[in-house]
Amino acid sequence: MEKGRQRRRLLVGAAIVGMSAFTLAANASPITLERIQPILSQRCAQCHAAHPTMMSTAPEGVMLDSPDNIMRNAQRLYHEAVQTKAMPLGNVTQMTDGERKEIAQWFEQGAHR
């Protein structure tokens, strides 16, 4: 009988810990564009800008050099930089996995401005 009580206590304790972790995650502030924009300026805008420095024009007209352009291209950014990791091409600007994770979180949280 004592083993049954211990098991219930462990289950209740685990449930409390799990709910606490969920509550903390749910209350975390969403990642905003302000946090993402410096990553894109450093890793993407050399090519994807009105006046790129690594080529003559932005590939496929995709620009990530302003808040409006970033918001307009959020889905494509997520797909290319996070899901397929195709961009930056050859990872020439050395985007880190941590930066990709931040972009993913920003997009998955609703791409908040």
113 is a domain residue: no
- Residue type, position 8, single letter: R
70-90 pLDDT, tens per residue? 999 999 999 999 999 999 999
Q: Is 88 in the same domain as 41?
A: yes
Say if residues 53 and 20 touch (Cβ distance below 8 Å): no
> Domain range for residue 24?
1-30
How large is the average pLDDT for residues 45-58?
A: 97
Is the overall model pTM greater than 0.85, yes or no? no
Q: What does the alpha-carbon distance between residue 17 and residue 12 come to, in Å, rounded to a whole number?
A: 9
Which DSSP string corresponds to 3-55?
HHHHHHHHHHHHHHHHHHHHHHHHHSPPPBHHHHHHHHHHHTTTTSSSS-SSS
Q: Is 21 in the same domain as 3?
A: yes
Token reading at 40: 């894109």
Q: Is 43 in the same domain as 66?
A: yes
